[in-house]
Amino acid sequence: MLGTGSAFAKNYFNTNALFYTDNKTVMLDCGTTASRSLNQLGKTFNHIDALLISHIHADHIGGMEEFAFQMKFVYNRKPLLYIPEPIAETLWENSLKGGLMQDGLGSLEDYFDVRLIAPGAPAELLPAFTVEPVRTQHIPGKPSFSYIINNSFFYSADMRFDRELLEELVERGCETIFHECQFSPPGIVHTTLDELLSLPRSIQERVWLMHYDDAKPEYEQAIGPMRFVEQHQMYSFNRKTAR
């Protein structure tokens, strides 16, 4: 985990992650703190083979301008960019164009090998790395996608509480759920801790909390059987062996 914090957290960096599979590294989201976090791990953007984006808030894509410039002008590479089709145009036109556009460079494709992925359809992005984008509710009118990975791991983007989805994931055999968590109600655009604690224990035991604010130490004993995802820690997909 490059970071586990909310958009406004100062102690935990943005909730962005690295996935390792078959000698490839995929970065899920690239927020404003991504490069700093990579540096603390002894890594650079050149260690990234592919980027997967969930939605266009800055704590999830705010580092993409630096990523694009470094890959093009420092490392002379065009990395893979996997992005759900409904947000591809908005990512460029509303978020990246102002900084990245210059003579001869006027589109995402000039910086990235863009691969559009279809919501609700599993796709093998890299060998042994299959992703299914799930549209989850966050800000009205702004598409946001969470991901089912290898049919057994759910990684939430920012999302409002969706009990039905979580129950369906468990029925499908999802063993591990990394879920965003807002400590204080109301959960207008995020899922609150109280909402997650309302789930059956059989679901809570699969849940690891992330995208939390700086009050985390105050809640260490208040999350039931759930656990916190920790910054700069590596986890397996299997909840029985996660560490």
Task: Tell me the pairing of strands 153-155 and 50-52.
Answer: unpaired
According to DSSP, residue 141 is labeled: T
- Which domain, by its residues, includes 31? 17-119+127-228
Residue 58 belongs to some domain of the structure: yes
Contact 240, 210 (CB under 8 A): no
Give pLDDT, residue 236: 81
pLDDT at residue 55 in the model? 98
Distances in Å between the Cα of 5 and the Cα atoms of 2, 12, 48, 109, 209 are 10, 5, 21, 30, 10
> Structurally, how many domains does the chain consist of?
1
Q: Over the stretch 180-221, which tens digit does the pLDDT of each residue have? A: 999 999 999 999 999 999 999 999 999 999 999 999 999 999
Q: Does the pLDDT value for residue 241 go beyond 70?
A: no
The enclosing domain of 191 has a CATH number of 3.60.15.10
Q: How many residues does the chain have?
A: 243
Percent of the chain residues topping a pLDDT of 90: 95
Residue 186: asked if its preceding bond is cis (omega within 30°), the reply is yes
Within a domain: 241:
no
- Of all helices (H) and strands (E), which one includes residue 124? strand 123-126
- With respect to residue 10, please indicate whether it lies within any of the assigned structural domains: no
Could you tell me if residue 93 is inside a domain? yes
pLDDT recorded at residue 237: 66
Buried b or exposed e, range 20-34, using 16+ CB within 10 angstroms: ebeebebbbbbbbbb
Q: Is residue 140 part of a domain?
A: yes
Q: Would the pTM count as exceeding 0.75?
A: yes
- Residue 242 belongs to a domain: no
Query: Is the residue at 2 inside a domain?
Result: no
Query: Does residue 187 lie in a domain region?
Result: yes
- Taking 70 as the threshold, does the pLDDT of residue 77 lie above it? yes
Residue pLDDT, tens place only, 7-46: 999 999 999 999 998 899 999 999 999 999 999 999 999 9
